[in-house]
Amino acid sequence: MKPIKIINGPNLNLLGLREPHVYGSATLSDIEALCTEIASDLGVDFEFHQSNHEGVIIDLIQEARERCSGIILNPAGFTSTSIAILDALLASDLPIIEVHITNIHRREEWRHLSYVSKAATAIIAGAGPQGYELALRHMSALVARS
Ligand code: CA2
């Protein structure tokens, strides 16, 4: 079975190290470990990435098209700015789940716009690190059905 691609956008490498009052105390490694546990439960494979660079994220999305069954993406600071990431997602023709650790709709108005949502099959926001677990579970059900 093809792996699920999990992509984390800019500054998410700082999770747990800065601004714990906003993003909590779990690090990105903790989230990856949670995904490992859940994926093994579900019997699915995944690949976990983080990049601060828009072009690298686009390359990862393009590369997923042939090799992966779906994409789970926390676009972070590119959520409200990147039409290029939206275009790559639309071209991928894969199920996409958009994840945000925080509920972007309770935060500043400029965080409410998500270009990524235009390509997303499902959106999870505000569930903290557990959002990645929910996304993996839903993606696993989606790709099993396909
Ligand atoms: O809630 C989320 O997951 C976000 O995607 C996180 C982004 C933010 O721009 C989105 O509006 C919502 C920010 C990621 C930066 O992560 C940091 C973690 C620790 C310290 C500083 C930044």
pLDDT in tens, 16-52: 999 999 999 999 999 999 999 999 999 999 999 999 9
The whole-model pTM stands at: 0.97
**Does residue 146 carry a pLDDT above 70?**
no
Beta strands in the chain (DSSP E): 4-8, 46-50, 70-74, 96-100, 122-125
Q: Which of 21, 49, 53, 100 is catalytic?
A: 100
pLDDT digits (tens, 9 = 90+) for 87-104: 999 999 999 999 999 999
Calculate how far, in angstroms, residue 11's C-alpha sits from the geometric centre of ligand 1.
7
- In this structure, the number of other CB atoms found within 10 A of the CB of residue 2 comes to 14
DSSP 8-state symbol, 101: S
Across the range 57-86, mean pLDDT stands at: 98
Tell me how far apart the terminal alpha carbons of the chain are, to the nearest angstrom.
12
Q: Whose CA is nearest to atom 22 of ligand 1?
A: 11
Provide the pLDDT confidence category of residue 79 given band limits of 50, 70 and 90: very high
> Is 138 labeled as catalytic in the residue annotation?
no
Q: Tens of pLDDT along 103-130? A: 999 999 999 999 999 999 999 999 999 9
Ligand 1 centroid, distance to 132 Cα (angstroms): 14
Cα within 13 Å of Cα(82), Cβ side: 24
CATH numeric code, 4-145: 3.40.50.9100
Alpha-carbon distance 20 to 9, whole Å? Answer: 18
Question: Is 132 tagged catalytic?
Answer: no
The pairing of strands 122-125 and 96-100 is: parallel
Distance from Cα 122 to the centre of ligand 1, integer Å = 19
